[in-house]
């Protein structure tokens, strides 16, 4: 009866309508799994119906000749119901698994196309929960609710028919009580929605804590943070517990109310039924059959409050899933996007402005013309906007004003795939995937031959290191390349970029985290990578950019100075000269 109330609401229709595209490919099996619910529910009435003749003839009439077969029929019908229930459960598990996989595929497909700005504002725990656990909750809830709906509708219809068959007078009383009992369920969503949102937020934080403990285990150990982490985690668990108790306070009264309403219904039925038997309006068999049907109709209602809470959890999970799937993309790609096949002339920044979330601008009035094959170094104080500037080239973000052009064409005119195929990026902390060295290098060009991989290794100064490994390029490096040193990870990333052979190369502080020996090796690999490329280099160590064609000084979002090393050093009190002299206080070092 709970579902009868829900189907009247727009929430029910919208949620199931949203899920239809996922059900459509497997609708025959999904339909069969639901059709089985019809006999499963309807057979509930068989026991109650058979009790009338059995009671009248055997119990009251003390005659065993006619209804001897009734116990056998009850056993037979119950066995059939059990087998059908097994079949329905199996099919529901199959359909549920397929639906969950389909939703997860769509969510993951959405996830990998999300712009970086989305992840800037999310924790790993929230991403894990919303892209993984919500799919389970939504799909399992969908099937459980629909199966329950059909089973209860068929069971209730059959049992109500038995009620009216035995006594229409008693049936009216029973149905009035039934309506009163289920009325509070219409308020369930309002009662729990805010608490579910808070509980979900707590679960985000719990997942994030697990991820941080895994990724930061060495920091926790090195700084003796075990007690701090335990206290933080325990507080989160206390918050979750408090929310569970608060939800229980708001909804636990539903079950006692149902018990109370059902007991009134049963009491009235017994009292009124006894009077009808005395009056000769119904037989004892009618009465026993009626009470059995009423008990079977009322019993599921006693715990329906808990079921209603689970239903709302599922519906809220569906809403969260489609909040993601229906989210408007921030980086819009034109349908008639132009192809991009290399860089022939250069890259131009025209009056570029940028702000995160349209707040304080971090880049202002950037005008820069970079010729093909030129090496541009970006220097300046931390937080000045250097990394943000190069992040605009592959469209990790879009400029809020102005434009970036390749060969005179705005990069927003190109497809994102073509644009990024022409750009190779080496970050300060390069991400390596769980797998082997070769698998990570091949990400630059999956179709590369062994000879091309070998050339990439040589150019990245990795050959000697690879030869020292028992399994060579097939060596497993662990999640995030944990089994490699910082310099080795950088060189694997450079080999990956080298294999991609993109005409534009972005080096975002690729050597800043390395020691002098590692930096020397990595710098040699970078020099190989930059040959015949248009290169953007971000570096704090100014000694690494002295030989750049031009150096751009980015200061608090502005392009403060632009020129060669010699030209910038010739500016009295210039910003580049000041930075350079701060790093090389010894004149011999600066030489």
- Domains of the chain, residue spans: 2-325
Using CA atoms, how far apart are residues 328 and 398, in angstroms rounded to an integer? 15
For residue 140, the model assigns a pLDDT of 76
Structural element, H or E, at residue 213 = helix 188-215
Other beta carbons within 10 Å of 535: 22
Contact between 120 and 296 (Cβ < 8 Å): no
Torsion of CA 362, 364, 367, 373, to 10 degrees: 0
State the alpha helices, DSSP H only, in 252-279. 254-279
Instruction: Specify the DSSP class assigned to residue 152.
Output: H
Return all residues near 254 (Cβ < 8 A) that are at least 6 apart: 184, 185, 188, 304, 305, 306, 308
d(CA 118, CA 424): 22
Q: Provide the whole-model pTM.
A: 0.76
* Helices 188-215 and 304-325, packing angle to 10 deg: 60
Cα 456 to Cα 361: distance, rounded to the nearest angstrom: 40
Q: Round the CA-based radius of gyration of the chain to a whole number and report it.
A: 35
Give the Cα separation of 476 and 396 in Å (integer).
30
Decide if 438 contacts 432 (C-beta within 8 A). Answer: no
pLDDT at 519: 66
- How far, in Å, CA of 552 to CA of 563, rounded? 7
C-alpha–C-alpha distance, residues 16 and 315, integer Å? 9
Nearest to 107 by CA among 330, 329, 324: 324
Residue that is written with structure tokens 């079950």 in the block? 255
Query: ∠ CA 123-124-126 to the nearest 5 degrees?
Result: 65
The 10 Å Cβ neighbour count of residue 117 is 15
- What per-residue confidence (pLDDT) applies to 317? 85
Helices (H), 422-574: 437-441, 450-459, 463-467, 486-500, 516-530, 565-569
Which pLDDT belongs to residue 6?
A: 44
Q: What is the pLDDT of residue 562?
A: 92
- Tens digits of per-residue pLDDT, 94-135? 998 899 999 999 999 988 888 888 888 888 888 888 888 888
Q: Which residues contact 240 (CB under 8 A, 6 or more apart)?
A: 199, 202, 203, 206
Q: Looking at residue 144, what is its pLDDT?
A: 75
CB 368 within 8 Å of CB 317: no
What does the pLDDT read at residue 357? 77
**Which segments of the chain have a pLDDT < 50?**
1-9, 587-591
* Total count of residues recorded for the chain: 591
DSSP secondary structure, 370-436, as one string: EETT-EEEEE-STTSSHHHHHHTTTTSS--SEEEEEETTEEGGGB-HHHHHHTEEEE-SS----SSB
Contact 158, 331 (CB under 8 A): no
Q: Alpha-carbon distance 394 to 103, whole Å?
A: 29
* CATH tag, 2-325: 1.20.1560.10
533 Cβ contact list (under 8 Å, min separation 6): 373, 502, 503, 504, 505
pLDDT at 296: 83
Tally of helices (H runs) and strands (E runs) in the chain: 26, 10
Q: Are 307 and 176 in contact (CB under 8 A)?
A: no
* Spatial contact of 195 and 252, defined as CB atoms under 8 Å apart: no
pLDDT value of residue 516: 63
Would strands 504-508 and 423-426 be described as parallel, antiparallel, or unpaired? parallel
**What pLDDT does 371 receive?**
93
Instruction: Tally Cβ neighbours within 10 Å of residue 588.
Output: 6
Check: CB of residue 173 under 8 Å from CB of residue 166: no
DSSP code for 449: -
């Amino acid at each position: 009866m709970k579902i009868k109330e829900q189907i009247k609401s727009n929430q029910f229709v919208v949620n199931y309508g949203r899920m239809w595209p996922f059900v459509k490919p497997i609708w025959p099996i999904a339909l069969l799994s639901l059709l089985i619910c019809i006999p499963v529910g309807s057979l509930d009435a068989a026991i109650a119906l058979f009790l009338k003749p059995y009671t009248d003839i055997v119990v009251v009439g003390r005659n065993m000749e006619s209804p001897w077969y009734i116990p056998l029929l009850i056993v037979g019908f119950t066995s059939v119901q059990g087998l059908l229930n097994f079949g329905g459960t199996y099919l529901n598990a199959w359909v549920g698994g397929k639906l969950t996989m389909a939703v997860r595929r769509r969510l993951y497909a959405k996830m990998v196309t999300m712009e970086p700005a989305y992840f800037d504002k999310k924790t790993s725990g929230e991403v894990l929960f919303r892209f993984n656990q919500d799919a389970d909750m939504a799909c399992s809830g969908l099937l459980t609710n629909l199966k329950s709906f059909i089973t209860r509708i068929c069971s209730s219809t059959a049992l109500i028919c038995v009620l009216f068959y035995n006594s229409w007078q008693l049936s009216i009383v029973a149905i009035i009580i039934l309506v009163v009992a289920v009325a509070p369920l219409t308020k369930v969503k309002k009662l729990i929605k805010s608490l579910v949102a808070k509980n979900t937020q707590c679960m985000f934080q719990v997942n994030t804590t697990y991820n941080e403990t895994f990724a930061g285990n060495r920091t926790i150990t090195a700084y003796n943070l075990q007690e701090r982490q335990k206290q933080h985690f325990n507080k989160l668990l206390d918050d979750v517990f408090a929310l569970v108790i608060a939800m229980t306070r708001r909804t636990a009264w539903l079950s006692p109310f149902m018990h109370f309403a059902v007991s009134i219904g049963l009491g009235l039925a017994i009292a009124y039924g006894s009077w009808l038997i005395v009056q000769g309006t119904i037989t004892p068999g009618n009465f026993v059959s009626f009470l059995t049907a009423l008990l079977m109709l009322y019993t599921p209602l006693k715990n329906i409050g808990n079921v209603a809470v689970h239903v709302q959890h599922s519906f809220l999970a569906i809403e969260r899933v489609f909040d993601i799937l229906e989210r408007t993309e921030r980086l819009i790609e034109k349908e008639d996007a132009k192809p991009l096949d290399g860089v022939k002339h250069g890259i131009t920044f025209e009056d570029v402005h940028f702000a995160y979330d349209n707040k304080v601008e971090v880049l202002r009035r950037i005008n820069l013309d970079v010729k093909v094959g030129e090496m541009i170094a970006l220097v300046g104080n931390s937080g000045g906007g250097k990394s943000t500037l190069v992040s605009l080239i592959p469209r990790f973000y879009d400029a809020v004003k102005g434009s970036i052009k390749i060969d005179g064409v705005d990069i927003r005119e190109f497809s994102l795939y073509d644009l990024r195929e022409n750009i190779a990026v080496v970050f300060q902390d390069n991400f390596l995937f769980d797998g082997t060295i070769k698998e990570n290098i091949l990400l630059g060009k999956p179709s590369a031959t062994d000879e091309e991989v070998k050339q990439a290794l040589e150019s990245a100064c990795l050959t000697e290191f690879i030869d020292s490994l028992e399994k060579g390029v097939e060596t497993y490096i662990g999640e995030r390349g944990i089994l490699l040193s910082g310099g080795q990870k950088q060189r694997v990333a450079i080999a990956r970029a080298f294999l991609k052979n993109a005409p534009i190369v972005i080096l975002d502080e690729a050597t800043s985290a390395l020691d002098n020996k590692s930096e020397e090796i990595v710098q040699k690999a970078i020099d190989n990578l930059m040959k015949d490329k248009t290169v953007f280099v971000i570096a704090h160590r100014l000694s690494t950019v002295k030989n750049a064609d031009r150096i751009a000084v980015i200061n608090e979002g502005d392009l403060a100075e632009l020129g060669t090393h010699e030209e910038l050093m010739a500016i009295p009190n210039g910003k580049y000269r000041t930075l350079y002299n701060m790093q090389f206080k010894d004149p011999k070092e600066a030489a």
